Amino acid sequence: MKNLFYIFLFTLISVNLTFSQQIWINEFSYDCADSSDGSLDGDEFIEIVAPVGTDMSDYALIFFNSPDAGVYSIYAYAELSGTISSTNSNYGYGFYVFTTGLSHRLDKYTPIPNGVQVHPASDNLSTNGIDNGPYAGVILVNKNNSETVHAVLYEFDQYISLPTEISSDPDGIVKIEGPFLLEKNTTVIPFNLADFETSVPMRGLIMIGNGTSGLWTMTLGTGQSINSPGNVNYSQGPLPVELSSFSASLLNGGIRLNWRTETEVNNYGFDVERKSVNGNWDKISFVSGYGNSNSPKEYSYTDNSVREGKYSYRLKQVDNDGTYAYSNILEITFQKVVEYNLAQNYPNPFNPNTNISFILPESGNVKLTIYNLLGQEIKTLVNGFKESGVHNVSFDARDLNSGIYLYKLEANNFNQTRKMTLVK
């Protein structure tokens, strides 16, 4: 008899940012669908957080994009100026707001407080604004040594190969020497957290805590969940524990929560809390912490009591003195599935990377193979035992010619074949 399992979806996610940061990009907005004055965009900004008194003339912003996640090119460059003031400062950190020619709605919806340093764009950003993605990003660099202080990559599918440096400057607009490395001090925000073209004003992306937290969420543009350029949204002080990731995965019919800390100070442990759609937050378990640690620690908890429906999870990190702080919320939807399935690859057509997903209602030996149209085997992506659940495999076709290829899944007594198109 086939075992039931669950498909899960994330609506809030934490992403990697595992460095000690004093200056960082804290909040930004780049798209808006309110066309009341005849234009689509209008609430763009980039908020930078830095210690009060920081001379921002040492820094610049570099904007880059790629039409297909292939070659990433710089399309705008802005040298900053001014000093971080104490207006609205928090834990010794103040705000700096960079605006573009598409920032005219800020005064109406989310005005920047008087006293906060504002830097308006003077190049093509003064008319064209920030690229809406996908596959775009912005780098805060130190002009004196070209080092990456903080880079944010947004609207990236999780299976796309990420750039390690940005060096293409077709218009010759950057005034400092590159390349600009993305090997550290870089945040990657997945595609499901985005300021889409249908976004209402006051909606954008925002970091929780300070530059060491690595936790991002999306404001909704309504109620209290709105953009706040130049204002404290979450405390800019360090979180009690530096949480660098929080995710979930399927395991034997239950849901496994995984999280990782980079450092810990007086960490008593974590309450694992769960909430159903119409229910309240309930503590379902406690996981002890390591107390004090200067090295990464991995944690996990498996919830075997889930049923079909939607649930939310969060962590309540508790210090030895009883103080506590909450993580971001992970929302998961479960649906019972009893059939094998080989999904259509995404993206398709692709160049050169694509993702292939398949569903196994029961554990067993699995083979996933790529063929050409002549039936010749090109590459075996999977060949071995796999647990029941949803599996994702990345396929890199950079060594193949453009054309139509087949991919075939064989699992137990099941097999299925689909087509995919490589376009170079």
For residues 251 and 374, membership in a common domain is answered with no
125-128, long-range: CB < 8 A, 24+ apart: 125/63, 125/76, 125/78, 125/100, 125/101, 126/100, 126/101, 127/101, 128/76, 128/101
Cα 256 from Cα 17, distance rounded (Å): 22
Cα 83 from Cα 88, distance rounded (Å): 14
For residues 313 and 353, membership in a common domain is answered with no
Domain endpoint, select from 283, 302, 334: 334
Rounded (to 5) percent helix, strand, coil in the chain: 0, 50, 50
Position 169, amino acid:
D
| Complete DSSP assignment for 286-318 | EEEEEEEESS-EEEEEEE----SEEEEEEEEEE
Domain endpoint, select from 152, 177, 203: 203
C-alpha closest to that of 115 among 234, 231, 235, 236: 231
Residue ranges making up the domain that contains 29: 24-203
What letter would DSSP give residue 2? Answer: P
Within a domain: 126: yes
End-to-end CA separation in angstroms for the chain: 45
Q: What is the CATH number of the domain that holds 380?
A: 2.60.40.1930
> How many domains would you assign to the chain?
3
Cα 4 from Cα 338, distance rounded (Å): 6
Within a domain: 257: yes
283-289, long-range: CB < 8 A, 24+ apart: 283/316, 289/241, 289/264, 289/317, 289/318
Cα 212 from Cα 101, distance rounded (Å): 31
Pairing of strands 117-120, 136-142: unpaired
pTM above 0.85, yes or no: no
Cα 260 from Cα 250, distance rounded (Å): 18
Segment holding 263, helix H or strand E: strand 254-276
169, two tokens? 């400057």
Q: What pLDDT was estimated at residue 16?
A: 37
Residue 106, classed as helix, strand or coil, is helix
Domain endpoint, select from 334, 361, 393: 334
Q: What is the pLDDT along the chain (424 residues), one digit of tens a residue?
A: 233 333 333 333 333 333 346 899 999 988 765 545 555 568 889 999 999 999 999 999 999 999 888 889 999 999 999 999 999 888 788 999 999 988 888 888 888 999 999 999 987 788 778 888 788 999 999 999 999 999 999 888 766 778 889 998 988 999 999 899 987 788 887 666 777 666 667 778 887 666 655 667 777 766 666 788 988 876 565 555 777 778 776 655 667 788 988 878 788 999 999 988 888 889 999 999 998 887 889 999 988 787 777 888 889 888 887 877 778 778 776 666 678 889 899 889 998 888 898 888 888 899 999 999 999 999 999 999 987 777 878 899 999 999 999 999 999 889 999 999 999 8
Cα 276 from Cα 386, distance rounded (Å): 30
For residues 178 and 304, membership in a common domain is answered with no
